[in-house]
Amino acid sequence: MERQIALKNLQFETETSCKTKSQESFIWESLAAMTTIFGTIFQAHLTKNRAFALPIVPITMYIGYRWDEIYGTTSEKIKADAEKLYKQKRDLFKPVGGPITLEELDRRRMAWKH
């Protein structure tokens, strides 16, 4: 019982630290993106060349994707879709030629040795 409690605590600590690290990383990525966007806008204004503003679109899309990945429900949607697919189309997840038998494993081991 104590081992299970320790394992749960370790899992909780790991999940919390990963989430915190992701949020911290997102903050730095957002700051870098904002600096880049303001720099490109300023350069486009100085040179009167609007082509300098083109990188704003993919940078904004990336930050939006990262925000949804960290604060949104993307991972829950992916998990739900994967579970739904697994329940509805289980035959897609079966190995081609059937499951591997012990005889097949022995044959492969012998082939590796020679």
67 vs 54: CA distance, rounded Å = 21
Range of the domain at 78: 2-89
Work out how many domains the chain is built from and give that number.
1
pLDDT digits (tens, 9 = 90+) for 82-108: 888 888 887 777 777 777 888 888 888
**96 falls within a domain:** no
> Would the pLDDT of 33 be above 90?
yes
Q: Rounded to two decimals, what is the model's pTM? A: 0.56
Tokens of 96: 């081609």
CB 58 within 8 A of CB 21: no
**100 falls within a domain:** no
Crossing angle of helices 56-71 and 2-47, rounded to 10°? 160
Q: What is the reported pLDDT for 76?
A: 82
**10 falls within a domain:** yes
Q: What is the reported pLDDT for 32?
A: 94
